[in-house]
Amino acid sequence: MHPPYRPAGIHAAQWIPTDAAGRINREALEALLAFEKLSGIDGVLALGSTGEFPHFSPAERRQAIGLIAELAAPLPVIVNVTDIRPRVSVDLGRFAQSLGLAAMAVMPPMFYPVSQADMLAYFLHLADAVELPVILYNFPELTGKRIELATIAALADRAPLAAIKQSGGDFEYHRELITLGREKGFVVMSGADTRLPEAFKLGAAGCIGGLANIVPELMVGLDRICRQGVSGDPEPAAEAMREVGRIIDQLTFPSNIAAGVEARGLRAGVPKAIQSDESRALHATIVRELGALFTRLKLPPARIG
């Protein structure tokens, strides 16, 4: 049996800086993680959508897992093992297990259509092959597939389901997921960075978000007030989060996270995807506008390392 594991609090959906050859920039990653840790985050998701996992080969993903595990310690690290090839998912999960990491996250298989029955079979295959708690990762806008409630319930009945990360535009799905989680014994980690007070009011256990690379102290503060019951007014931080979201949404995800990291005074690395002149201009606009916002909010540059 797996020991009980339930993530809670603010987890960084980790951005991974790379150089022009696609190699991880260790110093930049170390500085970014140091900033997040000093801000009080509770854990890290390695190689999620913010971590741009499709850009990395299986060997590069193993390297990233090991490096993030080292630099994030002693925080719990969740590893996204999603891949169109089940054998790669199993290999990454077993590697994470060998490092003693907290859990593996998994999205539905990408690219090809998949039924809910086959989706469940894929999740069960991974749960049987890897001795780690499972965190489902629902992001239909990226995978093209929603993990339905019946599939989640069936997995929870047969595997060590610790949580589901709910991302994307369907915020109302939090309600049904949280209700099912209470029945089946798993928690919901929201991906709605800019709607944290609402997510916590519904009963979310925490957030796994890309904005934790940029304004982790705002997110940690909201978690303490809204979920942990610390005295304070959440509205100033909530409004600041909404403004950050409005600014970075001028550019597509996850390239916009890189602009935010740069605006905070840290190195985001070289883009992994080809970018147009238009996107590069939007990147510069975001850096400038976020810089002005951070000055107004008295959020200092995070120049660490």
Chain segment 69-90, per-residue pLDDT in tens = 999 999 999 999 999 999 999 9
Q: Which residues contact 118 (CB under 8 A, 6 or more apart)?
A: none
Tell me how far apart the alpha carbons of residues 279 and 154 are, in angstroms, rounded to a whole number. Answer: 42
pLDDT value of residue 4: 79
Q: What share of the chain is helix, strand, coil (3-state, %, to 5)?
A: 50, 10, 40
Give the DSSP letter of residue 209: E
Q: Which residues contact 236 (CB under 8 A, 6 or more apart)?
A: none
Tell me how far apart the alpha carbons of residues 141 and 158 are, in angstroms, rounded to a whole number. Answer: 27
pLDDT value of residue 302: 87
pLDDT value of residue 304: 58
Residue ranges for the chain with pLDDT beneath 70? 1-3, 303-305
Q: Which residues contact 152 (CB under 8 A, 6 or more apart)?
A: 136, 161, 164, 177, 180, 184
**Domain spans in the chain, listed from the N-terminal domain onward:** 9-230
Phi, psi of 187 (to 5 degrees): -115, 165
pLDDT value of residue 263: 98
Q: Which residues contact 173 (CB under 8 A, 6 or more apart)?
A: 138, 166
pTM of the full predicted structure? 0.96
CATH architecture entry for 9-230 = Alpha-Beta Barrel (3.20)
